Amino acid sequence: MNPKPTFTDRLRIIFKGILDPIGAFLNRLGLTPNTITLLGLVGTTVGAYFISQGKMTTGAFVLLVSVLVDAFDGTMARLRGEPSDFGGFVDSVSDRYAELITFAGLLYFFLSQENALGVMVTFAAAAGSVLVSYVKARAEGLGFTAKVGILTRVERYLVLIPLLVFNQPFIAALVIAVLGNVTALQRILHVRVQGHIRMQKARENKEYIH
């Protein structure tokens, strides 16, 4: 099954004319894609700290800058002509850490406010976000595709950052908790369909051989 291009895929195409020149400039400075990945993670950690202290707007803008910085690592690797499996692995792991660190900031904030509901919703948001990525990775490891769903990583930040700017952390966590877990379920069902198709083809081939 060939899924349609994701929102993230379309963004890469739309902003290629901006990403490529900046990525080329960063390469000329001698920076490596992995360095940019780690800089994005450090920035996310700073943003999470501001969020944990209740400074939502400041944290949101720091997160925005960090996400934009992190967008250049893949571009830089492609322009260098040396995209590697390890580089992609580092980027993927860093993205997961970045999201979990961000949610840790929200968890700390809700704990300091003694907001039990906020804590539970944030935990559900973190779980959904991790599951979205895990389902995709596990599916691809089995030879399936799972690039579907309404709330992938970019969309999660498009929900989170604007709502934090307007000091609405609970609503941000709630939307991600609901739609993130819905996205994980969408991917599970997508893989289930592919599994049934694979089994059907295997039966047909077996019958044909006999």
**pLDDT given for residue 6 in this prediction:** 66
**pLDDT given for residue 89 in this prediction:** 82
Residues with catalytic roles: 95
Q: What is the 8-class DSSP label of residue 152?
A: -
**pLDDT given for residue 123 in this prediction:** 97
Burial of 193 (0-12, 13-18, 19+ CB in 10 A): exposed
**Separation of alpha carbons 24 and 20, rounded Å:** 6
Query: Which stretches of the chain score pLDDT less than 50?
Result: 1
**pLDDT given for residue 196 in this prediction:** 93
**pLDDT given for residue 194 in this prediction:** 95
pTM as predicted: 0.87
**pLDDT given for residue 177 in this prediction:** 97
Q: What is the 8-class DSSP label of residue 79?
A: H
**pLDDT given for residue 128 in this prediction:** 96
The CA–CA distances, whole Å, from 90 to 81, 155, 169 equal 17, 21, 29
**pLDDT given for residue 3 in this prediction:** 55
Other Cβ atoms less than 10 A from the Cβ of 55: the count is 16
